[in-house]
Amino acid sequence: MPQVINITSRDFKLSAATEAKIREKIASLDSHYDRISHCDVIVEAPAIHHHHRGEPLTVRVRMTVPGAELIGDHQDDSDRAVAIRESFHAADRQLKEHASRLRGTI
């Protein structure tokens, strides 16, 4: 697991279940590349009191690894779970590309 994990929501409160899902996704990233030192996840909704279906939600995963800072993000208008899943897919691709560059296979 990364040494430092920050999970932040902007303009609404994350449920305990959503935060647990994010922590699970971070652990999954660590299984692909175990040198993540810092991971920030920001879940951002429109500047309203709470998120409603149909309004954009952005999830950004920022990871610090030796020699680089990697970012995976996704915006979705329909579903918080989709935005979280897709942002972590993007982060995972970034980690795999970084690991390939280090091995010299890209």
Total domains, the chain: 1
- In angstroms, the CA 24 to CA 37 distance is 16
Residue type, 93: R
Question: What's the pTM?
Answer: 0.85
Q: Pairing state of beta strands 57-65 and 38-44? A: antiparallel
At residue 46, φ and ψ (nearest 5 deg) are -55, 160
pLDDT of residue 49: 46
Domain that holds residue 85: 4-103
CATH code (residue 14): 3.30.160.100
Per-residue tens of pLDDT for the chain, all 106 residues: 778 999 999 888 899 999 999 999 999 998 888 899 999 999 998 765 454 555 688 999 999 998 899 999 999 877 888 999 999 999 999 999 998 888 887 6
* CA 19 to centroid of chain Cα atoms: 11
Q: Which residues contact 42 (CB under 8 A, 6 or more apart)?
A: 8, 9, 10, 58, 59, 60, 62
